[in-house]
Amino acid sequence: TVAGGDLAFCTFTASPRLWVGFEQDGLRPFWFLTGLSSGDPDLWISDYAHEDWIREGDHTTQIKTAAVRVWEDCVRACVG
């Protein structure tokens, strides 16, 4: 959860990035992150429906922090 919004993370085989969106929007991804393996993620907006929310306060930083945590958990689970 970031600033009251429940986020969902997903990947797509055809587009290997970590995608993120609001869970209540039916897992429709609005943004994706790159640079997770380096620990310095970049957040890219692919659908501007929630751009104002992303730019409020420290939401971008919170999304990036959550994404790194999800990414690292997935790597541990997959690699061991």
| Spatial separation of the C-alpha atoms in residues 80 and 14, rounded to whole Å | 24
For residue 21, the one-letter residue type is G
The pLDDT score that the predictor gives to residue 44 is 92
Both structure tokens of 16: 């290997």
> Can you name the residues that pair with 63 across neighbouring β-strands?
none
The pLDDT score that the predictor gives to residue 61 is 92
| Spatial separation of the C-alpha atoms in residues 7 and 28, rounded to whole Å | 10
Q: How confident is the model at residue 38 (pLDDT cuts 50, 70, 90)?
A: confident
**What is this structure's pTM?**
0.82
pLDDT in tens, 47-78: 888 889 888 999 999 999 999 888 888 888 88
pLDDT in tens, 12-25: 777 778 888 887 76
